[in-house]
Structure 1
C-alpha cells in the first residue's frame, strides 16, 4: 500500500515537537537550535534547479572567533572515517577551532575549503597560516555531484549571511540533496539548557544527515518499506553524517572530545547503521570565556545527556522538515509521512505520536 498523500510544501512541514515527539526531560533553549548558544550563527546557500542539482553549503559561524581570540577550545570525534573533514587533524592535535565550520557535498569540499580560506584571509590580512574546517556528506544519489556546482560565492554567501535566528531545516544548504534512513533528510538542529554546578549552560546541535539504517522514533522502528510502500530501497553509497555541537559550558578540548563521542553514540537512537562507507564525524566546541574555571569531570554528566538528547532531536528534525525530492536520473526520496501504517504503534508509545 502506498502512503504518499503527504506531499506538502516545505512551509507545511513541522519539527518533532509539533508532532508530540519530545526527547528527554531537559528543557530546550528559546529556539531549540544551535543558535541558542550565544554568538553562534548559521547561514545557508542552496543550489536547487528542480532537476539534477540539489546541493549547497551550510556554515556555522562562532562570532567569538576574532583577531583578539583566534581560537576556541574544540575537539573532533571520528565515528567512522570514510569521509573528508578538512582541517580536522590540526584541530585534533591542538584542541582549537580556528575557523567557522562549513558543510557541503563531498566533491565540493575542496572548493569550499579554498573559499573559506579566502574568507579567513580577508579577516586576518597579516596571517600566514590558516586552518579552514570543512566537512561533507555525499549527496550524489539525488544531485549530480560530479558537476561540483558550489562556488566561492556560495560559500561566502553562507558565511556572510549567517544569523542568530532559527535556521532553516530540511532541504536547505548542505542538506538540500541528502537522504537518511531511507527517507529524504537534510539539516536539523536542536538545543538543551541545564544547570551544571548551579551555573546555566546551553548545548546546541546542528546535523547534516545522510546515513543508512532503519528510522527509529523513540524506540519504535519505522522501516521505509512499511511506512512508504513502493519505492526504490537501494541505499546510496557514501552515506555519512556531520554533527556540530556548540556549548557555552567551560570545557577544555579533552572534555569536548567526550561530548563529541556522545554525539556519535546518539545516532544509534534513531537507527543508524554505522555502515562501512559512512563518514560519521562530530565536532564540539565551546564559546565560554577563557577565564572561567573548567568544569570537573564529575560535573559533566548533565552535558552528556544534553548532547545526546539534542542530537537525537536534531536528527529527527532533519528528516521531519525535509520534503520529497526527485533528482538525478529521476531518483526520488520521499519525506517521512506524518500519518501512515505505524501511527497506531506510535500512538501507544510513551511520549506522543505522529
Structure 2
C-alpha cells in the first residue's frame, strides 16, 4: 500500500480506494489526480439543502458544478489540442462541434446536471468576461459544458444552479489534491446503485527518459448493481444483501463524463485516440454503455502552447510523440479512468434526497473485509 497520504484520502479526510488495500496498475502522480498535470486546476460549487417531499423550485437540492481549467488563468485563452469521443451520445457536451472541427478548445470545462448545462456554459462566458475581458472583447467563445442526470436525488427542474455558482467553482479552481465524491457536479450522482459523483486519478508515463503525466476526472453516474466490478472481482453478487438493497433506487442506466488531461505532446487526432480508450476503463468497473447513457469523453494536451494559436502568414510547427509510441498512454487512460470511478464511489457517504429517495454508499466494512 502507498504511504502517500494524498493517495489514501481526500483533503477533507474521505478515504480513497487505495485506503482499503485496493491495488491498481501503474504509478500515480503525487496527488493521484488530474491536477498532477502541470497547470490544470479544479474547483467546485456544491449545493445541498432541504429534505422531504419535492417542491419544484424549492428543493430538496442535491447538485452543483465542477470547473476544470486546462491552463493557468493568465494563459487560459490559449487553446489546447483536444479530441472528443462519444461512446453513447444520449447527453450533451457543448463546444463539441468546434473541437471536432479544429482539434482544439480554450476556456474552462464545466460539468453539472442535465438541466443546468446551459447555465453552466453561459456562466463560464460571464466569468471570462469578468476576469479575462480581452479574451472575449475581440472575438467570441464556445465553452465546453457537460452534464449527467441527478433527478433521483435533486430538484432538477427547480433550476437552482446560477451563474454565481459557476463563478464560485471557477474562482475556486486550484491545483494540488482535490475533493471527491458528492461534490460539485457530482453531488447528486449514482453509480451501480451506490452514491458516486466526482473522482480523479493520474499516472506517470516514462517515454525515452522523459516523464509525462496523464490525469482523469470523471463525473460518474451509471451502471446496475449486479454489474459492479472492482479490480476483476465481480462484486455485484456480494452486494445485494437486504441491508444494502433496502431503500436503494431502481436500476438506473445513467451516464459518465470523463476529462483526460496530459502534458505529453500529442496532436488532435491522437487526443481523440486517447479519448476513445476511456470506455475500456469504464468497462473495468462493470459499465458497458446503455441505450440511454450519455457516455461522452474529452481529452486535451497542455503541450504545444503556442502551436494552436500560431499567427497567420507563417508555417506553424508542433511537437508530438509518434503514434508507434502511444500505447503506454492508452494504458494510462484506462488505469486512471478505472481508479477515478472507484474513488468517486469510495470517497462517499449515504445520501437522502427528494421525496426521501435514499442512495447508500459502497459499504466500507465490506471493502475492508474483501481488500484489506
Query: Are 1:107 and 2:115 counterparts?
Result: yes
Matching of residues 34-113 of structure 1 within 5 Å? 34-51=34-51, 52-64=60-72, 70-113=78-121
Tell me if the contact between 2:193 and 2:252 (Cα under 8 Å) persists in the aligned partners: no
Q: Deviations over 1:116-174 (max 9, x none)?
A: 11123331242332111100000001001000100000001101110102111001111
CA distance in structure 2 between the partners assigned to 1:276 and 1:59 by the alignment = 28
Q: 1:120 to 1:127 in 2, by over 3 A?
A: farther
Match of 2:197 in 1: 186
Residue of structure 2 in register with 1:323 after alignment? 349
- TM superposition shift of 1:243: 0.3
Matched, 1:311 2:337: yes
1:191-221 CA deviation, whole Å, 9 max, x = no partner?
0002123221000111100011322101112
Q: Deviations over 1:14-56 (max 9, x none)?
A: 10111111211x2110000000000000000000004221000
Deviation at 1:260, TM superposition (A): 0.3
Q: How many residues are matched?
A: 335
Q: Runs of 4 or more off by more than 6 Å in structure 1? A: none
Aligned to 1:3: none
With normalisation by structure 2, the TM-score equals 0.86
Q: Root-mean-square deviation (CA), in Å?
A: 1.9
Unaligned runs of 5+ in 1: 1-9, 347-352
Q: Determine the structure 1 residue equivalent to 2:287.
A: 272
Cα pair distance change 1:287/1:333, threshold 3 Å: same
SS at match of 1:86: coil
Whole-Å Cα distance in 1 between the matches of residues 88 and 189 of structure 2?
A: 18
Q: Which runs of 5+ in 2 are unaligned?
A: 1-10, 52-59, 306-316
Evaluate the alpha carbon distance shift between residue 68 and residue 334 of structure 1 in structure 2; reply closer, same or farther with a 3 A threshold. closer
Segment of structure 1 superposing worse, 59-68 or 302-311? 59-68
228, 232, 244: which one aligns with 1:219: 232
TM norm structure 1: 0.90
Match of 1:23 in 2: 24
CA contact (8 A) 1:141 1:328 kept: yes
The 3-state SS of whatever aligns with 1:210 is strand
Specify which of 154, 160, 182 is matched with residue 149 of structure 1. 160
Kept after mapping to 2: 8 A contact 1:65/1:99: no
